[in-house]
Amino acid sequence: MYRQQRDQIGALINPVNGFRGRQMQKGIIPKDHARENIRALRNAQNQNRAAKREESLPEAPLFKMDQFRNVQSKINAQPAESPELNDTATHASVATHRYMKKGEGRSAGKASQGTKKPGWTPGAIQGTDYVPESKRNLQGRSRRDPTPKASEVNQVAPRSKKDFVRQAREQLTNAKPKQVVDKAKEERRLLQQKRGQVPAYLRNRQAEWAREEEKRLRNAPDPSCPPGMRLMPEAERLETLTVLRRSQEAGKNQLSHLPLHIETPKMVQKKQALEAKLKEIEEALEIFNREKVYVQA
């Protein structure tokens, strides 16, 4: 109450001038937005001026090595040829080149059919650039292999003198008969075995399954656990119960040492505090005596 009155008197004597006044009272210097705006405008103005100066400057020459600095380009030094010269060169190349005329190869072949000269090959045309099909370059195209001659045919392997029928008959004769299982002997062997006993490997496997199931149930989340809570371990719950019982015994001992007739306010307040503490301990004991105790996670 005294502090509230003091604050009201101080506010009347030294009134606070809004949010900035409260900042100044706390020792915080308020930000000057007007000065910051002027500074930002000046920075933008300086940047615009620098950009304009850069645009007005002449462009820097491209880099060129010293040994090629005074060398003129060959493209500019080579004069362009006139179209008249190009046409003349084309006509000259056409005139010097020899082309086969229509029907020249056919007429040469008919004239040379009756006579065979030394070195003449069928299909060859004298006086032309004709190349026989056998000597042409097919440029990767498939070509059928020639028919082999009689002397080039591989020899057939000699006939084997092995008698396969006799060999199969001997194998059947010498084969061992299949072993016949004696049913009576097998039944006696089965009767000698111990019945009603689970093998050791199955017992070990069943014990392993039981341990795995117990571990799974222990680690599985409790469906009755509220969200945001966790189940308190059993050891922690028992330890908390022991501490609460000790506190309860100490509180009852202190309460029993108080006088029967209490008149002073201090003793009354002490008795009320002990009774409240004992009540809280009893409520906690009731909670921790349960089988499952959930605490905040």
Q: What is the 3-state secondary structure (H, E, C) of the chain?
A: CHHHHHHHHHHHHCCCCHHHHHHHHCCCCCCCHHHHHHHHHHHHHHHHHHHHHHHHCCCCCCCCCHHHCCCCCHHHHCCCCCHHHHHHHHHHHHHHCCCCCCCHHHHHHHHCCCCCCCCCCCCCCCCCCCCCHHHCCCCCCCCCCCCCCHHHCCCCCCCCCCCHHHHHHHHHHHCCCCCCCCHHHHHHHHHHCCCCCCCHHHHHHHHHHHHHHHHHHHHCCCCCCCCCEEECCHHHHHHHHHHHHHHHHHHHHHHHCCCCCCCCHHHHHHHHHHHHHHHHHHHHHHHHCCCCCEEEC
> Structural domain boundaries of the chain?
1-30, 229-296
Quote the percentage of the chain above a pLDDT of 70: 70
Q: Does the pLDDT at position 12 exceed 80?
A: no
pLDDT at 141: 54
In whole numbers, what is the pLDDT of the chain averaged over residues? Answer: 76
Q: Does the pLDDT at position 280 exceed 90?
A: yes
Q: Does the pLDDT at position 115 exceed 60?
A: no
pLDDT at 3: 46
Mean pLDDT across 225-244: 86
Mean pLDDT across 113-139: 53
pLDDT at 4: 46
Q: Does the pLDDT at position 124 exceed 50?
A: no
Convert the pLDDT of each residue in 55-99 to its tens digit.
888 887 788 888 888 887 777 665 555 555 455 555 555 555 566
pTM of the model: 0.28
pLDDT at 11: 65
Convert the pLDDT of each residue in 135-185 to its tens digit.
555 555 556 777 777 776 666 667 778 888 999 989 888 887 777 667 888
Mean pLDDT across 217-246: 84
